[in-house]
Amino acid sequence: MSRDAPIHSWPGSYYINNEKRWESGTLSLTRTMVRFISSQSKECLSSFRLSRIMEIKMESSSFIFSTLTVLEEGNVKHWFGSLKPNRVAVFNVLEHFWRERLLSPTSEARGAECHPSKGRELINLVVGAQRRLEDTGRVLSHQGEQFDNMMQGLEKIDSDLELESPSWWPFGKLPWKTQQEAKAEDAAKAAAAISAGKVSSRSKVITSIPAVLSKGGDSDLKPGCLLVLVSSLEVRDTNCHLLHRFERNEIDEIRVHSPYEITVRQRFIGKPDICYRFLSAKMPEAMSVLEMQYKKKMELTSEYAAFKATPLSSPSDKEGTNWNEGKAAVFGPFAMLNINLTTEWQ
């Protein structure tokens, strides 16, 4: 039975608890699973569902190690080290897909968890509340910008009124200017209304998705969000601060690596291109909009073709296997002094 195609993969090493040693290989994230495949034996050393993860942490030892740990249901702890490009990037991607899995589990995940634990329910509540706070903060930030613009407009109108008539004229506007200015005012209001309508429609947000993003390669993947507007694409961080805006007519290409990963590029002559990479569990929701707006600029890569050609795993596949199953690897490799020092450490 074919396995899911990986959304992303990273070279690294995995700690085999019952053999007290590290094994080099590849850590892979799929639609529903996390797997580690040995580079020597090509055997799957660890495999578990995203829905079974209880905690993802970055841990370190006072001796040598700098690792990423994943706690699975049943108190099974998995240790991953020597991750490339770095463990922070891997952590951000895994946490994003795990969080989105908790918020909107598929029917397959629900089937595997007919009776969720109290801990899982609490996690869902906390993560859901955090997402709602993020959304509320984003809305308030936009409303604050609109309010600032409105206040600036009112201040300009007030200053214009003060300069409209000379101080010695006691009756308001000068009579010979009244009709002329009334017409000019009406024309200005009409033009402003049309302009405001255009600006408002151009800045309308069609969809917004949480994402893990980087400017350039994979080494600096950080959480943020991608906003698809009528006239542009906006890249924002977790605090909703604008990192970059791609105007619609300035985008040269959108490369689709998988249904969950895209790269947006703006080319320049005489200076480096601006390129952002986006990974998101919600990317399929934005893809339909991107296809409509940027159809001629979208390019499906060979990675995408390979991803789509790989069938989904059968729902009857095992929930996941690992060499540590049944063992509560609480202390992990840090408790062992006879470690394999041939591993490449971070």
What are the pLDDT digits (tens) for 329-346? 444 554 443 333 333 333
Task: Quick: pLDDT tens for 301-320.
Answer: 888 877 776 655 444 344 44
Tens digits of residue pLDDT in 72-119: 988 899 999 889 888 899 999 999 999 888 776 544 444 444 455 666
Cα separation, 173 vs 324, in Å, equals 86
Determine the pLDDT at residue 162.
55
Three-class secondary structure of residue 338 per DSSP? coil
CB atoms within 10 A of CB 135: 14
Tens digits of residue pLDDT in 125-143: 676 666 667 656 655 666 6
**Total-model pTM:** 0.65
Beta strands in the chain (DSSP E): 8-16, 21-29, 33-38, 44-49, 53-60, 66-72, 76-81, 205-215, 222-229, 232-237, 242-247, 253-258, 261-266, 274-279, 298-300
Tens-digit pLDDT profile for residues 254-305: 999 988 999 999 998 888 889 999 999 999 888 888 888 898 899 988 888 7
User: pLDDT tier at 251 (50, 70, 90 boundaries)?
Assistant: very high
Radius of gyration over every alpha carbon of the chain, rounded to an integer in angstroms:
27
Q: Helix, strand, or coil here: 287?
A: helix
